[in-house]
Amino acid sequence: MATAAQQLTVAPATGTYALDMAHSTVGFEARHMVFTRVRGHFGEVEGGFVVAEDPDNSSVDVTIKAASIDSGVADRDVHLRSGDFLDVEKYPDIRFRSTGVNIAGPTNGTLSGELTIRDITRPVVLDVEYLGGGVDPYGREKAALSASTEIDREDWGLTWNVALETGGVLVSKKIKIDIEVAGVLQK
């Protein structure tokens, strides 16, 4: 069996990368009333990733300011920040810390980690794709990655809901998470 380093044929430069939030998005999607999609993102995300010589030793550590949630509707965002959902006054941060990397192909694999929401930490696995990298016009080495997963929000104590007369519930339990990040290599 090939090692992770042998399987990954295209890779970013090794080193520590800080997130470039001008070119990054941490987004989510939920179902509303069973049939419509509500999308949003978090505007304040800090952290980065380390690309190690041996890709198996690479890592990610990111903190999201829960209050920076933006679904495009102010009243809904107030509700999402409340105790019914994220309770941002009591739990201001959402954190993801990787625990393992599994390279599956030349530019893709999975990233295992721990996601903490409302001080509840649960394991998650993200499908990850390396999108490319290079030097920007300012001489900074950059790398771009895409990641996605789906979680059951109730696993993190996000249980508020309303039953619908026609069946189903107002807010889906399943939440899709889609991440597009650019990192700047720190020198």
Going by DSSP bridges, is the β-strand pair 25-32/15-19 parallel, antiparallel, or unpaired? unpaired
Name which of 59-68, 83-92, 130-139, 176-185 the model is least confident about: 130-139
User: Is the separation of the CB atoms in 10 and 106 below 8 Å?
Assistant: yes
* Contacting residues for 173 by C-beta, under 8 A, at least 6 apart: 152, 153, 154
- pLDDT, position 186: 96
What's the CA gap between 104 and 129, in Å, rounded?
10
What is the residue-averaged pLDDT of the chain?
Answer: 90
